[in-house]
Amino acid sequence: MKSDEYSFASDNCAGVDLDIMRALNDVNQGYVHSYGDDVYTNKAKETIKNMFGGKASVYFVYNGTGANVTGISQLVHSYHTVFCSQVGHIHVDECGSLEHNAGCKVIALPSTDGKIFPEQIAPLLVGIGDEHRSQPGLISITQSTEYGVVYSQEEISKLAVFAHDNNMHLHMDGARISNAAAALNLPLRAFTSECGVDLLSLGATKNGLMFGEAVVFLNEALDKCYPYVRKQGMQLHSKMRFIAAQFEEMFGTDRWLNNATHANNMAQRLVRGIEKHPQITITQKVQCNAIFAILPESMIPDLQSLFHFYVWDESKGEVRLMTSFQTTQQEVDHFVDAINRLMQ
């Protein structure tokens, strides 16, 4: 069975890191208690907790939408508003799951690179205590953003202070948090728990797992009833060791960082290869593993016949190119060569 040979469409098009595969095989022996009451799960939870400074409540779920939606549902009431960016995954790519499950309002703020700031939210905090108005509940940011850009520690701290000053919580969608850490050259806790983030969706599927995501309450006091929310949210896995083993393998070693660094490097290689062409405009800072670029429109179909990638904004001829842990130098170079060829 043939697969798409070279894909720059999404880091989700990659397979599973071979060491993760090995870890899955290793853990497949004998019987263990189901639903997470097993040594593998306890160990992986401990590993993650320690990554964030020793104070965190860790729960495994199936995927990013599951982590975002059940985690946020734990922190807001249906009369709350969740603020996020206009391109936020929870707003654009989860089919309204947050509204359906938490019953809350989502207010999406304009953003050119996926980042949002307290200054945008402050003027919206009107009608506090007015029963006619949805009340401010939570700010959700994505690190790295849907445009591959990273928040600095200072930016995150300011958001956290602002959120807490206004009785809100701060959530981080960390679907690509490892890429952000690699870009920032910081440990994960330096821009999460240490900056006041309350809730983290710790993703790693795009970085080499088969499935699974962690919901991490960095503010431990906030997870009170979350086990029920997770189960009700259809996110409790029976054979939990198979999620836990992946997380242990990924975060109990430097694999998360190495894979992300590699993906980021491949993006750098790619952008360096194509940015020299004056007909190509790189539209976002390339900090992680995403490149947004406006290509000559006529070139796109030819290129798509050779490589799988998405046109992001048809009106502008803007494409998105994603690299991953699996991307090879050869793949990048072939892509760059193809561009060069088409440019002649």
Residues 195-234 that bind a second copy (CB under 8 A): 205-206, 210-211, 225, 227-234
Instruction: Decide if 233 contacts 70 (C-beta within 8 A).
Output: yes
HEC string of 101-164 equals: HHCCEEEEECCCCCCCCHHHHHHHCCCCCCCCCCEEEEEEEECCCCCCCCCCHHHHHHHHHHHH
Instruction: Decide if 138 contacts 169 (C-beta within 8 A).
Output: yes
> What x/- string results for residues 119 through 158 when contact with a second copy is judged by CB under 8 A?
------------xxxxx-----------------------
**Closest CB 187 distance from a second copy, rounded Å:** 26
State the sign of the Cα–Cα–Cα–Cα dihedral 292, 298, 301, 302: negative
Interaction of residue 66 with a second copy, rule CB under 8 A = yes
State the sign of the Cα–Cα–Cα–Cα dihedral 196, 248, 173, 286: positive
**Closest CB 189 distance from a second copy, rounded Å:** 26
Paired residues of 82 in beta bridges: 106, 138
Residues in the chain: 344
| Region near a second copy per CB under 8 A, out of 30-38, 49-57, 194-202, 286-294 | 30-38
Interaction of residue 93 with a second copy, rule CB under 8 A = yes
Amino acid letter, 272 = R
Residues in the interface with a second copy (CB under 8 A) total 83
Cβ distance to a second copy smaller for residue 32 or 186? 32
**Closest CB 307 distance from a second copy, rounded Å:** 10
Interaction of residue 40 with a second copy, rule CB under 8 A = yes
Cβ distance to a second copy smaller for residue 69 or 266? 69
Interaction of residue 340 with a second copy, rule CB under 8 A = no
Interaction of residue 104 with a second copy, rule CB under 8 A = yes
Interaction of residue 239 with a second copy, rule CB under 8 A = yes
